[in-house]
């Protein structure tokens, strides 16, 4: 069955609304056709990617990139986005740009992007957890989000509907106001295929991340349903989704009895029962931790928390552990978070406690997206960061729960 367009959509594809929109519609049409979509449906909520100054890593070459992006943003301003649109993570931190040595021209371009974004209708929030800071899609809302863990989160815990988007498809969705309808946008694709019996207690947020990472490998593109787990707190849910989307291409999962579309086992599986059943216990989680760790010694020089971007609760917990303490002089402690969460952390005194202890609060970006020191021996509470920082930053990695990360930052070595 072909992808059938409305008259309005056909006019855009035929170039009657200009070449800017036509290019995006051609792209969307091809993508929709390849994915078997039968129609384009209105989208209400977009998380874009790549709306940032490039950072100094590309130096001379980046000046061209900046010019191109400036021109493109100006074109975008003439068309404006058609729905709620937030910006995914940036390559630099406007709050403390010198911490990672950002070039002055990148800082001024980043500031210019805020104004261009405003004119285009995009909230330049620069976070991977927009659902913490004002963009909380409602049940059934059609979304087009980048950031793989956030896609799993909004599908699984909020009941919103988004396929996994890249930067181009998300921008296309925002400027056109349509997405091709396929995958989890359709009721029949929102059921689970795998049943995961969890036979161990999940004691920390990091345990949830390990569960997600282990199951993501088994699931690939399929949706798992978890059984025998207590309702996760937000921070644990965030880590579960990050794990699933890092080792696998999972778009949504279910926790039976917890997530909106999983009241019971019968509802979750298309035929009332799963295709495959797995049991995950403590040994599978520890095996997963061993795969993610590659540090050659317990001495560390970097502690990183806030992947995905931290909640206020996480910042408060870190501050409680650091109050009156001082981190080792050999260690940098960085916690990343959305700008709005940092503003709360400042007001509530958490930021000052963490700074006084020697830690650094970073917004807008993260070590994998900014120009960041490489080849360190680090400890993190995030399976996603453990996975990527080895490849992107060449780090030696230890994975530990949040309390042990802070204790290790103080001691200068891995404290278990």
Whole-number minimum distance, CB 67 to ligand F3S, in Å? 26
Q: Which is nearer to ligand F3S, 302 or 388 (CB)?
A: 388
Q: Which is nearer to ligand F3S, 242 or 357 (CB)?
A: 242
Whole-number minimum distance, CB 188 to ligand F3S, in Å? 30
Q: Which is nearer to ligand F3S, 185 or 253 (CB)?
A: 253
DSSP per-residue letters across 318-379: HHHHHTT----TT-EEEEEE-HHHHHHHHHTTHHHHHHHTTEEEEES--TTTS----S-EEE
Q: Tokens in use for 181?
A: 């309808």
CB under 8 Å to 153, separation ≥6 — which residues? 131, 237, 238, 241
Provide φ and ψ at 372, rounded to 5°. Answer: -135, 150
Report the DSSP pairing between strands 40-42 and 178-180: antiparallel
Whole-number minimum distance, CB 86 to ligand F3S, in Å? 13
CA–centroid distance for 308 within its chain: 6
Whole-number minimum distance, CB 386 to ligand F3S, in Å? 10
Whole-number minimum distance, CB 273 to ligand F3S, in Å? 34
Q: Tokens in use for 217?
A: 């490998």
Q: Which is nearer to ligand F3S, 9 or 311 (CB)?
A: 311
Residue 354: half-sphere exposure toward Cβ, Cα within 13 Å: 24
CA distance 81 to 93: 25
Provide φ and ψ at 395, rounded to 5°. Answer: -80, 155
CA distance 408 to 405: 5
Whole-number minimum distance, CB 283 to ligand F3S, in Å? 27
Q: Which is nearer to ligand F3S, 150 or 331 (CB)?
A: 150
Q: Which residues bind ligand F3S (CB under 6 A)?
A: 89, 128, 149, 307-309, 336, 366, 368-369, 384-385, 388
Whole-number minimum distance, CB 3 to ligand F3S, in Å? 32
CB under 8 Å to 27, separation ≥6 — which residues? 168, 169, 172
Q: Which is nearer to ligand F3S, 175 or 303 (CB)?
A: 303
Q: Which is nearer to ligand F3S, 190 or 376 (CB)?
A: 376
Q: Which is nearer to ligand F3S, 96 or 189 (CB)?
A: 96
Q: Tokens in use for 252?
A: 């949504």
Whole-number minimum distance, CB 309 to ligand F3S, in Å? 6
Whole-number minimum distance, CB 360 to ligand F3S, in Å? 15
Whole-number minimum distance, CB 307 to ligand F3S, in Å? 3
- Check if the beta carbon of residue 224 is closer than 8 Å to that of residue 215: yes
CA nearest neighbour of 149 among 192, 229, 208: 208
CB under 8 Å to 45, separation ≥6 — which residues? 83, 84, 85, 135, 137, 141, 142, 143, 144, 145, 160
39 beta partners: 4
Question: Where are the extended beta strands (E) located within 81-137?
Answer: 84-87, 122-123
Q: Tokens in use for 321?
A: 């552990």
Q: Which is nearer to ligand F3S, 120 or 128 (CB)?
A: 128
Q: Tokens in use for 357?
A: 């202890």
Whole-number minimum distance, CB 7 to ligand F3S, in Å? 39
Helices (H) and strands (E) in the chain, counts: 15, 15
Q: Which is nearer to ligand F3S, 248 or 274 (CB)?
A: 248
């Amino acid at each position: 069955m072909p992808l059938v367009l409305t008259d309005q959509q056909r006019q855009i594809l035929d170039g009657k609304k200009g070449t800017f929109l036509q290019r995006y519609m051609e792209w969307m049409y091809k993508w929709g056709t390849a994915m078997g979509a039968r129609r384009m449906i209105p989208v209400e909520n977009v998380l874009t990617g790549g709306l940032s100054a490039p950072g100094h890593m590309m130096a001379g070459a980046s000046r061209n990139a900046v010019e191109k992006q400036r021109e493109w943003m100006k074109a975008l301003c003439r068309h404006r986005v058609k729905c709620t649109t937030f910006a995914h993570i940036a390559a630099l931190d406007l709050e403390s740009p010198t911490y990672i040595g950002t070039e002055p021209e990148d800082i001024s371009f980043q500031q210019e992007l805020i104004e261009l974004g405003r004119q285009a209708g995009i909230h330049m929030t620069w976070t991977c957890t927009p659902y913490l800071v004002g963009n909380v899609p409602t049940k059934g809302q059609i979304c087009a989000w980048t950031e793989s863990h956030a896609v799993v989160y909004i599908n699984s815990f909020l009941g919103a509907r988004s396929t996994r988007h890249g930067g181009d498809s998300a921008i296309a969705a925002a400027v056109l106001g349509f997405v091709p309808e396929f995958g989890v946008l359709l009721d029949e694709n929102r059921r689970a295929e795998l049943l995961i019996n969890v036979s161990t207690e999940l004691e920390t947020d990091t345990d949830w991340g390990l569960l997600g990472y282990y199951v993501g490998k088994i699931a690939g593109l399929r949706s798992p349903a978890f059984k025998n787990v207590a309702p996760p707190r937000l921070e644990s849910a965030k880590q579960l989704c990050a794990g699933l989307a890092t080792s696998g291409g999972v778009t949504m999962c279910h926790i039976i009895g917890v997530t909106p579309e999983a009241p019971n086992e019968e509802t979750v599986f298309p035929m009332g029962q799963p295709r495959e059943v797995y049991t995950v216990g403590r040994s599978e989680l520890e095996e997963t931790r061993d795969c993610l760790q590659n540090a050659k010694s317990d001495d560390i020089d970097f502690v990183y928390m806030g992947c995905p971007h931290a909640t206020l609760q996480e910042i408060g917990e870190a501050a409680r552990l650091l109050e009156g303490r001082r981190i080792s002089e050999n260690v940098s402690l960085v916690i990343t978070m959305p700008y709005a969460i940092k503003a709360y952390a400042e007001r509530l005194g958490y930021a000052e406690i963490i700074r006084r202890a020697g830690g650094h609060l970073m917004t807008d970006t993260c070590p994998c997206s900014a120009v960041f020191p490489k080849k360190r021996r680090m400890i993190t509470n995030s399976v996603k960061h453990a996975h990527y920082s080895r490849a992107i930053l060449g780090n030696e990695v230890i994975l530990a729960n949040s309390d042990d990360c802070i204790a290790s930052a103080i001691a200068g070595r891995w404290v278990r």
